[in-house]
Structure 1
Amino acid sequence: MKSWSSYIKNFQSYLKIERGLSVHTVANYTFDIERLCSFLAEQQIEVSPIVIKEETVQQFIYKVSGELNARSQARIISGLKSFFTWLIFEDYRQDNPMVLIETPKTGRKLPDTLSVDDIDNLIGAIDLSLPEGERNRAMLETLYGCGLRVSELVSLKVSDLFFDEGFVKVTGKGNKQRFVPIGPQTQRFIDFYRNGIRSHLTIQKGFEDTLFLNRRGRQLTRAMVFTIIKELAVKIGLKKNISPHTLRHSFATHLLENGADLRSIQLMLGHESITTTEIYVHLDRKHLTQVMQQFHPRK
């Protein structure tokens, strides 16, 4: 739909430049709007985003509700609300046709976590006789040792390593930067990889500062890290459905279980809101009961 495409393009620019969102997040927003466009085309409804009415959008949401789970519906509604809010902000329209549409309750899915033994077994299953073995071990140790998102891991630079100070500089969501502590063991595995494997690669132009490289000397993809972890889980017979994010969840959970405070965990994870970090409080109620019994004066 031609009348929609120029608005979508300008909205993408706004998300990238003014809000600093990642390419992946911008693609999700775009997909949500294009889904509405497809619905309008199917129904032969010719209407621009400037004049589309609430009833038309409700028809689309009703159709979507029969096809998708609550979480996916909630994401589409959120994406469309942002789009129409932007149109109002830019003075293209006066009202938001999404204003009365309620987001379905999705509940809070508690993330899977691994035990320390699980993580040791996972990393222990890496074949270090292969050149990529040292790299994979360094990557998994960094994911778990620093609690990074997979996007933060693959974009990590050599110039982000401040080992003398015991920190790495991490670029998170919205290009926000934070310093995360890195332990001596993780530093050692990164150095093994850098000196023993990475230094012998033919590094492609533009990737000279990228820490974790594929065999062609380019930045690893997020999908490749997912594949590496899935294959290791199969290798050790781990029955949990895990991903790189599982190591990040495990990092936070193990810190909490060992007495770290939520505010410190929030800063290390790069969560904008403490409420996001609070999900970890629900993971081990038994541990919290022990904390209460040990530290509360009225125990």
Structure 2
Amino acid sequence: MNWDSYIKSYQSYLKIERGLSKNTIENYSFDIERLCLYLVTNGIEVSPIKINEETLQQFIYAIATQVNARSQARIISGLKSFFGYLIFEDYRNDNPLELIESPKTGRKLPDTLAITEIDALIGAIDLATNEGERNRAMLETLYGCGLRVSELVSLKISDLFFEEGFIKVTGKGNKQRFVPVGDLCRKYIEIYKDTVRVHVNVKKGHNDILFLNRRGSQLTRAMIFTIIKDLAVKIELTKKISPHTFRHSFATHLLENGADLRSIQLMLGHESITTTEIYLHLDRSFLTEVINNFHPRK
């Protein structure tokens, strides 16, 4: 078996045995493909079951000059998982990355948008165009429901349970959750769906997808990034933002306004409360307010 065969076998394992999403599997595969490119570029001919720690260490040194510590740690983790799979399938007896340590990355906290900044971004959308109505509905959904960008682009009309006050979201590993939807978000989705989307020539297979591009197909994640980036430039926002910034702002604003961590965990779709704790940053003034309001010996 060559690298491609092992990779395909690993992808099947991630999909069938571990139930991971397509995006997650692609990310795992990209780490291995990056290693394969390094081997080819440097004329190293070695199979996954023969590659040793020294070769992998040289690869880690090479990527350290190209990516930041966080990306480097992710690549090492992805490769450890791959070689762990090879051990599981009895292709190897050892993990050549076992003694290779990931760089210390610390806790990276993304920028949070203030409510005024979110209003400014949405206010900068040109509503004179059909895409404008769509973009307003999408940004309101990102922020109002705290969705991942992959969850936004795959949102279906059949996922809208407006009478019950929820939308059904399919997250990582195809796990589904119900997220409350506010009146403003619901209003803008309905405006787009009932006045704009009904006039789009929808391509076969995309009939149930809520947000469509001009050609009637599902939007890509890259397109959402571009829309947000262009709006940030338009209002001269200096923060480096992405679709994930809206999700982070959603959670942070809820917490600052008194929502409990468990509720936020459920709405974000985090399996572990620990993930939510790391994900949210708390400023000291908010913590002081919590102590003053809720501690019995304040």
Q: TM-score, normalised by structure 1?
A: 0.94
TM-superposed CA distance for 1:42, in Å, is 4.1
1:266 aligns with 2:265: yes
Q: Is the 8 A contact 2:248 2:280 kept in 1?
A: no
Q: Which residue number in structure 1 is paired with residue 8 of structure 2?
A: 9
Q: Which residue number in structure 1 is paired with residue 293 of structure 2?
A: 294
Q: Which residue number in structure 2 is paired with residue 95 of structure 1?
A: 94
CA RMSD of aligned residues (A): 1.6
How many residues are paired up? 298
Q: Is the 8 A contact 1:32 1:80 kept in 2?
A: yes
- Displaced runs of 4 or more, over 4 A: none
Q: Which residue number in structure 2 is paired with residue 283 of structure 1?
A: 282
TM-superposed CA distance for 1:281, in Å, is 4.4
| Residues 167-182 of structure 1: pairs in structure 2 closer than 5 A | 167-182=166-181
Moved more, 199-208 or 18-27: 18-27
- The letter of the residue matching 1:220 is L
SS at match of 1:282: coil
**Distance in 2 between the 1:198 and 1:271 partners?**
32
| Residues 202-213 of structure 1: pairs in structure 2 closer than 5 A | 202-213=201-212
| Residues 1-299 of structure 1: pairs in structure 2 closer than 5 A | 3-299=2-298
SS at match of 1:34: helix
Q: Is the 8 A contact 1:110 1:283 kept in 2?
A: no
The C-alpha deviation readout for 1:217-264, integer Å capped at 9, x for no partner, is: 111111111111111111222111111111111100000000001111
TM-superposed CA distance for 1:104, in Å, is 0.9
**Distance in 1 between the 2:37 and 2:208 partners?**
42
Moved more, 168-177 or 128-137: 128-137
Identity %: 74
Moved more, 90-99 or 258-267: 90-99
Q: TM-score, normalised by structure 2?
A: 0.95
TM-superposed CA distance for 1:29, in Å, is 2.0
Q: Is the 8 A contact 1:53 1:97 kept in 2?
A: yes
The C-alpha deviation readout for 1:21-76, integer Å capped at 9, x for no partner, is: 33333232222222222333344433221122223222322333344321121111
Ranges in structure 2 where 5+ consecutive residues have no aligned partner = none
Q: Is the 8 A contact 2:112 2:248 kept in 1?
A: yes
Ranges in structure 1 where 5+ consecutive residues have no aligned partner = none
Q: Is the 8 A contact 2:251 2:280 kept in 1?
A: no
SS at match of 2:2: helix
**Distance in 2 between the 1:134 and 1:47 partners?**
53
The C-alpha deviation readout for 1:171-227, integer Å capped at 9, x for no partner, is: 001111111011122111111111111111111111110001111111111111111
Q: Is the 8 A contact 2:252 2:281 kept in 1?
A: no
SS at match of 1:179: strand
**Distance in 1 between the 2:232 and 2:210 partners?**
24
